[in-house]
Every structure is written in structure tokens, then in C-alpha cells.
Amino acid sequence: MQKSKDDELKRLVNAYLEADAEMRAYDIKADVVDGEVQLTGIVDTVSDKNRANEVVSRVNGIKRIENGIAISTDGQITDRGVAFEVMEELNADPRVNLKHIGVKSVGGKVFLMGHCTNAMEEQAAMEAALKARGVTEVISQIHHEAKEPSLEQLFHSQVNNDREAGRQMGIYTDI
């Protein structure tokens, strides 16, 4: 009986992979044993590998996914080429400001460096970098910097600081 359940899950997994426009381009193999899916095949990017997990996880009845998909490009790609590809992906993402974020690649491991004003920009940069060919891992070394306060915020901050200092010295007791 488990074999028939596994066969049905395998059929569904393959149908989901085939129905997904991004996954259909790859020859991903799926096998199911005791409700656990094992994926094999080759894709171009880490985001494609992650996409396979997302697609398969939609199938009801799956206990676990073992993603054995390999990442490979069509030929040798240098660290310089990987960094170039990542920069292209970052440039294509409107959520990322390239004036503040740079890239270094070492053996396919990409380091994002620089600064941003919020975690959403950092997340967008990481997502974009994972789309580049040759990337095996993305490590963020992006520092978060608060936006500079406006003149009005600075003024009110200083007034509040003066009041607090006055209270501590006993000058402003009724404020």
C-alpha cells in the first residue's frame, strides 16, 4: 500500500515540476520512498535549486524533501565572471541601490559588502545574488545604517536632551 502512495506522490511531484515554467526547463528527477522525496538533476543557479523545493513542497502528503540537485554552468566561470553576473542581477533589482553595495566572489561563494538603510534592501540583494550563474552561496557583510535625521528631528532631539539635562541638575522641575 505504501508503494502505491509513493507512486502517486511521485506522479504529483513530477506534474508540479513540469507545470512550473522555471522548472520545466530542467531535467529534474524525483523519487519518493516512504513519503520522502529525493530530487536529483542539474540547474544553473541556487535560486533554481531553491525553487524546486518550493514547488515540491506544495504537494500534499510529502514528509520531507532531500534536495540533491547540483548547480552547474555551461563551462568554466571565473570569480570575476560570477561577480559580474551578480552585479547584473543586483542592477536589475529596483530594490537594491548599487551605490552602497558591492560584490566579491571566491570560488562561487559571493560576499555582499557595503551598507544599506534597511533589512529589506539586504534581503533583496541576497535574493538577486542567488539568481546569478556560478553562485554556490551568498554571505552578507552588509551593514545597516540608520537614515540621517532631518533638521527638525535633530532640533527636537537636542531640546529633549537639554530638558533631561536640566531635570538632572534641578533646573527644569515643572516640565
Confidence (pTM): 0.60
Q: What is the mean pLDDT of the chain?
A: 84
Task: Collapse the DSSP code of 67 into the 3-class scheme (helix H, G, I; strand E, B; otherwise coil) and give the result.
Answer: strand
Q: What mean pLDDT comes out for the span 98-102?
A: 88
**Amino acid in position 112:** L
Residue 158 clears pLDDT 60, i.e. is over it:
no
Is the pLDDT at 57 greater than 70, yes or no?
Answer: yes
pLDDT the model gives residue 108? 84
List CB contacts of 79: < 8 A, sequence separation 6 or more: 105, 106, 107, 108
* CB-based burial, 76-97: b 16+ in 10 Å, e otherwise: ebeeebbbbbbbebbeebeebb
Q: 130-141, pLDDT tens digit by residue?
A: 999 888 899 999
Q: Where are the alpha helices (DSSP H) in 38-150?
A: 46-56, 79-92, 119-130
- Predicted confidence at residue 163, as pLDDT, reads 55
Strand partners for 143:
115
Q: pLDDT grade, residue 171 (50/70/90)?
A: low
